[in-house]
Chains A and B, each alone.
Chain A
Amino acid sequence: MSRTRDIRSADSPPAPPASAPDPQRVALLLRPPLLVGAAALGGARVARGIASLFAGTLLRAINRQSERGAVAEQMFNIGNRSLFFVAVTLGFIALVSVFQVCLQLNRVTGDLSKVGLELIKLMVHESAPSLTAMMLATRVGAGIAAEIGSMVVTEQVDALRMSGVDPVSYLILPRFLACLLMTPVLAVFAFGVALGSGTAMAYVAFGVNPSIFVDFSAVTAADVGIGVVKCFCFGAAIPVVSGYCGLTTFGGSEGVGAATTRAVINASLAVLALDLLLTVAGFMLFPPSAA
């Protein structure tokens, strides 16, 4: 101990003791964990806010605190806004996937008779609900957040509250009910379009007879059930997540833009997370071997 000290003092000017940390470096080191912590806290707060908005919306739905006219108007809005968009997207995805699958299969086995069978099964329990919901998350989610967000920043929401109007009943609930009802409808429509374009591609490019391609025999009741449950869950999540982003808007038009972006990202993430969760749950409830 004492020797070390001696050497130091003799050799060179006293170096700063190794144990005294440089505050700037410590701050730099602490930054990433602090940022992660803040992000996690923020995420937890948002999740709690969304959960409580969801519970509030459900409660109001049960108490029937919504006007039929408002729901019908929103159904028209959501359906109308998304019909073309969903049709084009799902139609093209089916075209491309049938083309790719047939091309690969042609090289491996040359037997294209099962392509339609598998594609239809996959579409029923997975692609039609989730791809439709992803499209709705962008199209409808952005619309809901922008509409409600601009009402928040122009104090129209406060003006509603001055007239004894509950913003959740008036703004969120009709959109929630409309989206809940329209998502399955749009998914069925999307399924129809995708089936049509897939069948056409298989026939035109690979000569697969439509009577062979269109084969529902692999679709089980479980597939249909999972598909329907997914539609309802996505349809419930999108308006609540994007409505939350709208209601928590602050600042001017910049705030509305930020809320819209947040709504699209969060609603899409919610759809993906729910999709994974429901797929796993469906797999555990209805193991494929038993089917």
Chain B
Amino acid sequence: MIRFSRVSKAFRDPLLVDVDLDIESGAIWGLIGPGAGGKSVLLKIAAGLMRPDAGRVEIAGRDITGDDETALAQTRERIGMLFQNNALFDFMTVLDNVAFPLRRRGVADDEAEARAEKRLRAVGLAGSEHKMPSELSGGMQKRVGLARASVADPEVVIYDEPTAGLDPVTTSKIYDLLREDHEASKPTTIVVSSDVDALLSFAPRVALLEGGVLRYDGDAAAIAESDDAVVRQFVTGSLEGPL
């Protein structure tokens, strides 16, 4: 379970303002919103990578608000994350990138490699194991990032734009893979995507972050009928409206 209580974060300008949020264990939660609205920052706070200026954050039953770096590191071991820009280690091969979280969690070398290979096959990257990330296309790098995020079967997986830069067929394949993963071990899954339609059909519950607040947080099927004109405009992509 992930719970935010009145979480605020500001850099130059306020980015998140008193955000409340409650995601039950094993749920799939989608987050959409205009660019530079603070979606990635919200994910980093949920992953324990960034501290909020105010408010409380609970991850998997643990209040991490006052935790020091050591305790945070322990919490983060239960979370997998795909970064928006993939953040692949550029000094390691693709296989080592994916095996890295396993090795760091104490899995033996052979087993870590076998599991990483299996994961790479699942994202359609068999044969690229020994390449360096810089030798891959953008979409391939994204898939390596996906494989690395979920390879250690974390309790919580966070995907920041898992399908950005992928063609429609690969996008469908990726969502199938996320669905399979979710059915297998029921991790709490958080997905940010600007591909609104694909996300709405994947996540039963979605939220819309705009102007530092969650303007909608509920049933994905009902978002188009929201009372909020901003929400309706964003989902339909219309040029007419308050946005």
Residues of B within 8 A of A158 (CB): 44, 49, 83, 87
Per-residue interface assignment for chain A, residues 196 to 233, with 1 indicating a CB less than 8 Å from any chain B CB and 0 otherwise: 00000000000000000000000000000000000000
Q: Quick check: B104 and A163 within 8 Å, CB to CB?
A: yes
How far is B85's CA from A76's CA once the two chains are assembled, in angstroms? 31
How far is B47's CA from A89's CA once the two chains are assembled, in angstroms? 49
Closest to A153 in B: B85
- The DSSP consensus for interface residues of chain B is mixed
Q: Quick check: A162 and B79 within 8 Å, CB to CB?
A: yes
Q: Quick check: A164 and B77 within 8 Å, CB to CB?
A: yes
Q: Quick check: B90 and A163 within 8 Å, CB to CB?
A: no
Is A159 positioned at the interface, with any CB of B under 8 Å from its CB? yes
Per-residue interface assignment for chain A, residues 137 to 169, with 1 indicating a CB less than 8 Å from any chain B CB and 0 otherwise: 000000000000000001110111111111000
Q: Quick check: A162 and B74 within 8 Å, CB to CB?
A: no
Q: Total interface residues on A, using CB and 8 Å?
A: 12
Closest to B80 in A: A162
Q: Quick check: A165 and B104 within 8 Å, CB to CB?
A: yes
How far is B74's CA from A160's CA once the two chains are assembled, in angstroms? 13
Q: Quick check: B73 and A155 within 8 Å, CB to CB?
A: no
Give the interface size bracket for B toward A. 20 to 34
Given known A164-B104, A164-B105, A165-B104, contact A159–B87 (CB-CB < 8 A) = yes
Measured CB to CB, the closest approach of chain A to B51, in angstroms, equals: 13
Residues of A within 8 A of B88 (CB): 156, 159
Residues of B within 8 A of A163 (CB): 76-77, 100-101, 104-105
Is B89 positioned at the interface, with any CB of A under 8 Å from its CB? yes
How far is B35's CA from A257's CA once the two chains are assembled, in angstroms? 27
Q: Quick check: B87 and A154 within 8 Å, CB to CB?
A: yes
How far is B100's CA from A139's CA once the two chains are assembled, in angstroms? 30
Measured CB to CB, the closest approach of chain A to B224, in angstroms, equals: 34
Q: Quick check: B76 and A164 within 8 Å, CB to CB?
A: yes
Q: Quick check: A159 and B83 within 8 Å, CB to CB?
A: yes
A selection of 8 A-B contacts at a CB cut-off of 8 Å is: A155-B83, A156-B88, A159-B87, A161-B76, A163-B101, A163-B104, A164-B73, A164-B74
With A158-B87, A160-B89, A162-B49 given, can you name 11 additional A-B contacts, CB distance below 8 Å?
A: A154-B87, A155-B85, A156-B87, A156-B88, A158-B44, A159-B83, A162-B76, A163-B77, A164-B74, A164-B104, A165-B104
CB within 8 Å of A: which residues of B? 44, 47, 49, 69, 73-74, 76-77, 79-81, 83, 85, 87-90, 100-101, 104-105, 148
